[in-house]
Amino acid sequence: MALTSLIMNYAVTLKIASHYRLSFPSSIEHCPELRQWIGTIARIEGYSESFTEALELAMHEIFVNAVIHGNHDNVNLPIVLMFEAGVNGEERYLEVRVRDCGEGFDSESAIASIESARSATGSTGRGLFLANHYVKNFRIEKLEDGCVVVLRYIPY
């Protein structure tokens, strides 16, 4: 009886995830294609239209930052986006990793600088500002041969 009770009260946390990988040359000409792929992934995962629009906008801006600041417009260097969409326990999540070949930067000081210097009409720092606004967690991983911006969302 005690063993049956123990088995019935034991909760298993399942982590179910889908993985997607996109790779583009470092050129902002690929932004429309990137947005189409993000829309496709969002539809497959069943995200709302408003979340999909926010995700497309934020990923567009992060991609442009990776092209300009990370890879310095070098079309021979790739920008790789990896998506992990899933459920951990009862919580849905989306983790996006955007990798370029740049040196990286300190996210907290960059965002603080952007927020303090940003004017109502300015466009400088838009990518980091949007990424920080829409995500649950945001961090930078510096690698020997590049930089990874890691964004974790709670999709709706």
pLDDT of residue 84: 98
pTM for this prediction? 0.78
* 73 CA to centre of own chain: 20
Contact 150, 144 (CB under 8 A): no
> What is the pLDDT at residue 42?
97
State the virtual CA torsion across 42, 53, 130, 61 in degrees, nearest 10.
80
Report, at the CATH architecture level, how domain 13-153 is classified: 2-Layer Sandwich (3.30)
Q: For tokens 């920080």, name the residue.
A: 132
Mean pLDDT value across residues 85-112: 83
